[in-house]
Structure 1
Amino acid sequence: MQLNFKEIFTAFMVLFAVIDIIGNIPIVIDLRKKVGHIQSEKASLVAGIIMIVFLFLGQNILSLIGVGVNSFAVAGSFILFFIALEMILGITLYKDDENAAMTASVFPLAFPLIAGPGSLTTLLSLRAEFRIENIIVAVILNVLIIFIVLKTSSRIERLIGPNGINIIRKVFGVILLAIAVKLFAHNIKALFV
């Protein structure tokens, strides 16, 4: 096992930027308002497991079901697109159900928000460049930061206030929409080449 701190740091920074947990704070707060409670431990753990499993089996799973990485990313871009619309327009597309409090920590928080198409496709491209143990360390470090942010999201909300949250929510809604469009455009092109 060869740990390379340069590789770990680079993989960590790339994943941190793609996951954008700081940018997702308004979504987390919004989800908590909808469902009452978010299990930070469960969401972080599930996201971490999804990312590590996908790191090892992602390409195989997708090719087994006949889906390319690009198709996977296009599908994920639609989910991000609808979440962004909710944030910008203040509408509810994500249907509330009786088990929402139980499932919100997993869907849409752990997947596709944290361990989404962006981070999963990033993992596949990192695997081509870096040693697998360094990527795993980078994933674990990101999961720890995700847990801290999820745990302190109510404190962050109090600090910023309802108006601040509303402004951040709209701004990050537009950013998320732009990420969804970019993900869609980049991958739809690759599908028709």
Structure 2
Amino acid sequence: MIGSLISDILFGFTGLISIINPLAVAFVFLDRTEGMTNAERDALAKKVSINSMCVLLVAFFAGTPILHLFGISIEALRIGGGLAVAVSGWQMLNAPDVRTKEATARNVDADNAMSKAFFPLTIPLTTGPGSIATAVALNANRTHKLSEFVTSAVASIAISMLIAIAVFFTLSHSARFARYLGIEGTKVAMRISSFLLLCVGVQIMLTGFSEFLIPIASAR
């Protein structure tokens, strides 16, 4: 049982962490928190990580029933969420480089960023449709046998906590990553992250479209 639990945790964590890619999200986070102090950025990173853990827990334990309740398919989740991610990446890719130095402007930016801790910083930038769909799929075949249900539940909680820790660590150290890269290196990393975010959004949409169209094409 313990071996199966560890295997489930490792499998779920590696699958989700590769989709979330917190290192790339860190540069997006840094761009969205420009002008904030380290303490403010840490507080926001903590909020985003907790939100991410809650989103994954909801996806693990109630994802399938919620989608069925509202009549939303996994394909629709991928297409809609992918569009949101792609639009965000496009906006960041074309945003001008603006460095605000006045304290009043910094406070406005901090308040604005804190208000966006859930959307779009948590959803869809961190735990987007790809990670939500993956979490739903991981527990889609959960059985009602008590021992297997308990193992699956413990694994889901452990995976969500590990993801939250990884997200908090990378987001809270985003400014340190930027210092290592320098000003120009950070600008390049942010543009690359924005472009990758755009590509991820498009890929999620394409996956949703293909999953929707393949059964139609097969029926013909």
TM bracket, shorter-chain basis = 0.7 to 0.9
Q: Output the TM-score relative to the length of structure 1.
A: 0.87
Q: 1:11 to 1:43 in 2, by over 3 A?
A: same
Q: 1:191 to 1:137 in 2, by over 3 A?
A: same
Letter in 1 for 2:79: V
1:6 to partner: Cα distance: 2.0
State the alpha-carbon separation in 2 of the partners of residues 17 and 98 from structure 1: 29
SS at the partner of 2:34? helix
Alignment partner, residue 81 of structure 2: 76
Structure 1's consecutive aligned runs of 4 or more residues displaced over 3 angstroms after TM superposition are: 34-38, 96-99
User: Which of 111, 115, 120 lines up with 2:127 in the alignment?
Assistant: 115
Alignment partner, residue 6 of structure 1: 7
User: Which of 163, 170, 181 lines up with 1:142 in the alignment?
Assistant: 163
State the alpha-carbon separation in 1 of the partners of residues 174 and 70 from structure 2: 37
Q: 1:35 to 1:79 in 2, by over 3 A?
A: farther
State the alpha-carbon separation in 2 of the partners of residues 54 and 187 from structure 1: 18
Q: CA RMSD in A?
A: 2.4
What whole-Å deviation, never above 9, does each CA across 1:76-111 have from its counterpart, x for those lacking one?
10111012112322269xxx9995233122221111
User: Which of 165, 174, 177 lines up with 1:156 in the alignment?
Assistant: 177
Residues 81 and 177 in structure 1, CA contact (< 8 A), matched pair in contact too? yes
Residues 75 and 211 in structure 2, CA contact (< 8 A), matched pair in contact too? yes
Alignment partner, residue 55 of structure 1: 60
SS at the partner of 2:15? helix
How many residues were matched structurally? 190
What whole-Å deviation, never above 9, does each CA across 1:112-157 have from its counterpart, x for those lacking one?
1112111100101222478332232122111101111122112222
5+ residue gaps, structure 1, are: none
State the alpha-carbon separation in 2 of the partners of residues 11 and 108 from structure 1: 24
Mapping 1:1-193, distance limit 5 Å = 4-33=5-34, 37-38=40-41, 39-90=44-95, 100-128=112-140, 131-192=152-213, 193=215
What whole-Å deviation, never above 9, does each CA across 1:30-70 have from its counterpart, x for those lacking one?
11017774412111111111110121111111111111111
Choose 163-172 or 70-79, whichever is displaced more. Answer: 163-172
- Same amino acid, percent of matched pairs: 23
1:27 to partner: Cα distance: 0.5
SS at the partner of 2:24? coil
Letter in 1 for 2:64: Q
SS at the partner of 1:110? coil
State the alpha-carbon separation in 1 of the partners of residues 19 and 204 from structure 2: 11
Residues 12 and 138 in structure 1, CA contact (< 8 A), matched pair in contact too? yes
